[in-house]
Structure 1
Amino acid sequence: MDADKQMCGLDPDSPFVELAVEVFGLLADATRVRIILALRGSGEVSVNHLADIVDKSPAAVSQHLAKLRMARIVSTRQEGQRVFYRLENEHASQLVSDAIFQAEHSIAQGQPPAHHHQERERA
């Protein structure tokens, strides 16, 4: 009977808490955050193009992408010798966006941060 009962991942005693901590650890790198920001809304991007965007060598970007791929944050498609990367789903993108927004709050000094201005303009 308990097999039909699924635990909410947002419960404090969820088995996903430790995995979430691993995701935070993986994202605790500026190059990986920049890669995720570069992949947002871009569809598929080659390693060389990502390297240009984040201003790192293709070899360094490939190493970061390998870690993101092992964590299933990005996925790949190969076309001949070229490999294209894309975000696996919207969650890593949202997590990075929320972290950036929190950082904006940290330096806003009592003023509404930039993302609040953007929200008002869209309304």
Structure 2
Amino acid sequence: MADRATKDALFAEFAAVGKALGSPKRLELLDLLAQGPRSVDELATATDVGVSSCSAHLQALRQAGLVATRREGTRIFYSLAGEDVAQLWEHLRRVAQGHRAQTELARRAYLGPDDTTAIDTEELLRRLDSGDTVILDVRPGPEYAAGHLPGAVHIPVEELTQRLSELPAGSEIVAYCRGRYCVLAHDAVRLLSSHGWTTRRAADGILEWKLAGLPIDIGAA
């Protein structure tokens, strides 16, 4: 029969994963890595922390077995250790949304007013097949290159105002980004609507589509 020490050791292993998840900044890093591999300096810029602090958070995630690394010359790239880590991140968000009232308040405060219209994934796929809608990816370039919907046009949201002429006049546009808790598509729809486009946003994003096994293309625009 197993003794208390061996049981405690097993549960300590589970706790190590929970401890690594107990940091908002580390969860933000997982959210970014769910889009695709990124270098330390890219992650530091995206999360608005110093490189040394970012590296420390990444090491904590690596020690917990949640991320993996590869080296290219002097640069180190991080990625999720497996699809199950992305599933863990998605499920953690669902649990928080379902059981913590403050999560919905925080979501609304971050994403802004409920002034954009969403379409579900089934409708988005129908539009992809029909070709009668411009599907617009508004994430940063490295994320688009790591994986995007087939046929998606790529214009990062911060470049959208200067590149409106690249979008076909009169077309309906559906913007998408990282997932349900990403503000980029909301901002893109607001901007496009203010310039007269008929536009909606995808309710889901790359994280949800990857987990659903939908086709994802890889490569830069």
Q: Same fold (TM over 0.5)?
A: yes
Secondary structure at 2:45 match in 1: helix
Unaligned runs of 5+ in 2: 1-6, 106-117, 123-221
Question: C-alpha displacement at 1:16, in angstroms?
Answer: 4.7
How many residue pairs match? The answer is 101
Question: C-alpha displacement at 1:102, in angstroms?
Answer: 1.9
Residue 70 of structure 2 aligns with which residue? 77
Secondary structure at 1:34 match in 2: helix
Asked if 1:20 is matched to 2:14, the reply is yes
Question: What one-letter code is carried by the residue in structure 1 that aligns with 2:14?
Answer: A
How big is each residue's C-alpha offset from its partner over 1:12-56, in whole Å with a ceiling of 9 and x where there is no partner? x7x7543222211111111111100000031x2000111111111
Q: Distance in 1 between matches of 2:47 and 2:93?
A: 16
Residue 99 of structure 1 aligns with which residue? 92
Within 5 Å, which residues of 2 pair with 1:1-123? 16-42=10-36, 44-105=37-98, 106-107=100-101, 108=104, 121-123=120-122
Q: Percent identity?
A: 28
User: Could you tell me the TM-score, scaled by structure 2's length?
Assistant: 0.41
Q: Distance in 2 between matches of 1:21 and 1:71?
A: 9
Unaligned runs of 5+ in 1: 1-12, 110-117
Q: Distance in 2 between matches of 1:99 and 1:33?
A: 10
Question: C-alpha displacement at 1:77, in angstroms?
Answer: 1.0
Q: Distance in 2 between matches of 1:49 and 1:122?
A: 29
User: Could you tell me the TM-score, scaled by structure 1's length?
Assistant: 0.70
